[in-house]
Amino acid sequence: MEYRDVRELVRIRYELRTLGRGSGEVAAPLLERMRHLASRDAAESAAVQTELLRWQSVFQVELR
């Protein structure tokens, strides 16, 4: 995984932490981007899966 992708994941995580509950419309594209970035690297993808599930439950969103 490239450095810029790791930095973007950090930025997305920060943004997700600052959102309040019920911000599903804002969170959904961020979660989709997080999944896309992680999918480029098998180890990162495996590590991000539980995090994605947690954020989905927090914001009550379903990813495609």
| Tens-place pLDDT, residues 17-60 | 999 877 889 999 999 999 999 998 898 899 999 999 999 999 98
pLDDT of residue 62: 84
pLDDT of residue 20: 83
Q: What does the buried/exposed string (b/e) look like for 26-51 if buried means 16 or more CB atoms within 10 Å of the residue's CB?
A: ebbebbeebbebbeeeeebeeebeeb
> Which residues lie closer than 8 Å to 3 by C-beta, 6 or more apart?
none
> Which residues lie closer than 8 Å to 62 by C-beta, 6 or more apart?
56
Q: Are 53 and 34 in contact (CB under 8 A)?
A: no
Confidence of residue 1 (pLDDT cuts 50, 70, 90): confident
Q: pTM of the entire structure?
A: 0.87
Q: Are 20 and 59 in contact (CB under 8 A)?
A: no
